[in-house]
Structure 1
Amino acid sequence: MTILSRRLLLVAAAGASLVLAGCGKGAGPTASAEDMTLGDANAPVKVVEYASVTCSHCAAFNETTFPQFKAKYIDTGKVHYTFKEFLTPPEQVAAAGFLVARCAGKDKYFTVIDALFRSQQEMFQSGDMRGGLLRVAQSAGMTEAQFNACIQDEAALKALNDRVEKAIRQDGISATPTFVVNGKKVKEGDITLAELDAAIAEASK
């Protein structure tokens, strides 16, 4: 069992108490079978976002910019969007969140991710990480027993760790959020819709 595995198990404990840390900092990626995507796979522009559900900048993008981006580009078939999971402190909370999103099923994955982002500030202010994660899981139809089994799934955790390791080693990712458009890294950190507009316009030439 890895250190992260042992820490992740703590999230299942009722008394788990964790603190908020900042977003992680430290050739072109492509969507693979394990990635979660939205939009037309044949769209001419591919936008990849590396994000963590414990990253405040990622939560801000999800709330302020993503809805406009989705309506303008994903829903219209102009962009194929890929969400790639990354772990930022506290990593065990981020990992648990991603495991819950995947346990909820592909049809509910992005709904759970959105709920996690929206619950982020409350969880960190209250310190009740487990309670916040459990409420999100229950809103997706999971029981507490299913939630506990989900976040203690060693195989799923290993697969998540492998995806993150690939992002670091192969894709050169060191911060969240990071945005890649048609294989070109265009921004690390906060990004505006105008900046995405410019990157997509350039990729469309």
Structure 2
Amino acid sequence: MRHALLSLALLFLAGAAGAAPAYPTGDLSLGKATAKIHVEEYASLSCNHCAHFNNEVFPAFKAKYIDTGKVRYTLHEFLTEPVNVAAIGFITARCAGADKYYQVVDSLFRRQAEIFDTGQLRPVLLDVAKTAGLTEAQVTACVADTGNREALEARVDAGVARGVDSTPFFFVNGVKVDGVDLADLDKAIAAAGKKTR
């Protein structure tokens, strides 16, 4: 994977790049920071099951748990084939800033089928990036930045170290969830809630 990430800039955009935008490296979460329940998802932007979860399940999950302050949700980045699609997407989402990160991720999941049907990542990514306030030059610089690629690689390695071997993959308060639908998360959240009382 290291070799693949090191060649991302060549795969995506050629030419000179300016300064890359600020790149938040820590966990980016949604919801109340003091919520007793922490739901973590490991997902890949090139995973169609992850796109299904984001597009069809996550809105109801967010309304039920995140928007009500019951859950803090963290998306952890993971890479599945084609790795360049997932990696370039996540790096760009980070460069959009912490306040636009989830907007970019959601847009890329919703346009994943378009990327795969056309075989064209670049125009879709640049269009999504533009809606988040990034220019083409900023995306180029972001993807080309070695530090950004190394930071992504470190986050993926951390997931592997936790036993993540597929996507989507969930933990609720550190306990692996069996299943990937809302009913599975409901059950895991209810069990975690009993332990925090």
TM-score normalised by length of structure 2: 0.89
Which residue pairs with 1:8 in the alignment? Answer: 8
Which residue pairs with 1:204 in the alignment? Answer: 193
Give the 3-state SS of the residue equivalent to 1:81 in structure 2: strand
Which residue pairs with 2:45 in the alignment? Answer: 53
Out of 176, 182, 186, the position equivalent to 1:185 is: 176
Which residue pairs with 1:147 in the alignment? Answer: 139
Which residue pairs with 1:161 in the alignment? Answer: 153
Gaps of at least 5 residues in structure 1 are 15-32
2:195 is the counterpart of 1:194: no
Q: Which amino acid aligns with 1:93?
A: V
Alpha carbons of structure 1 residues 186 and 5: separation in structure 2 relative to 1, 3 Å: closer
Out of 110, 120, 123, the position equivalent to 1:118 is: 110
1:39–1:81 Cα contact (<8 Å) kept: yes
d(CA) in 2 for partners of 1:6, 1:183? 31
Out of 33, 43, 68, the position equivalent to 2:60 is: 68
TM-score normalised by length of structure 1: 0.85
Q: Which amino acid aligns with 1:172?
A: G
1:11–1:93 Cα contact (<8 Å) kept: no
d(CA) in 2 for partners of 1:47, 1:176? 15
d(CA) in 2 for partners of 1:155, 1:201? 39
Alpha carbons of structure 1 residues 137 and 13: separation in structure 2 relative to 1, 3 Å: same
d(CA) in 1 for partners of 2:72, 2:185? 13
**1:145-187, Cα deviation, whole Å (9 max, x unpaired):** 1111111111011010011011102x11000000101111013
Cα shift at 1:193: 1.4
Identify the structure with the greater helix proportion: 2
Alignment of 1:99-118 (within 5 A): 99-118=91-110
d(CA) in 1 for partners of 2:5, 2:167? 22
Cα shift at 1:192: 1.9
1:180–1:187 Cα contact (<8 Å) kept: no
Would you identify which runs of 4 or more consecutive aligned residues in structure 1 move more than 4 Å? none
Gaps of at least 5 residues in structure 2 are 16-24
2:73 is the counterpart of 1:81: yes
Work out the number of aligned pairs and report it: 183
d(CA) in 1 for partners of 2:5, 2:114? 25
d(CA) in 2 for partners of 1:178, 1:5? 22
Task: Supply the RMSD in Å over aligned alpha carbons.
Answer: 1.5
